[in-house]
Amino acid sequence: MIDKSDYSFIADQIALSRGSAGKAFAHLINMQNDLSISSVDSEETDKVSMRNIINSVYLVTVEEYYRPNAYVSRFVEELQKHVDHHAGSVNGFLKDNGIRVLQDFADISSIVGFDIDIENIR
Segment 74-95 shows an average pLDDT of: 97
The answer to whether the predicted template modeling score (pTM) of the entire model surpasses 0.75 is no
pLDDT-based confidence at 81, cuts 50/70/90? very high
Percent of the chain's residues with pLDDT above 90: 50
pLDDT value for 84:
97
Is 76 in contact with 82 (CB distance < 8 Å)?
no
CA distances from 41 to 29, 45, 47, 56 (A): 19, 9, 8, 21
Segment 18-24 shows an average pLDDT of: 70
Range of the domain at 30: 4-120
pLDDT value for 43:
62
Assign 3-class secondary structure to 19-34: HHHHHHHHHHHHHHHH
Segment 93-122 shows an average pLDDT of: 96
Residue 87 above 80 pLDDT? yes
Count of domains observed in the chain: 1
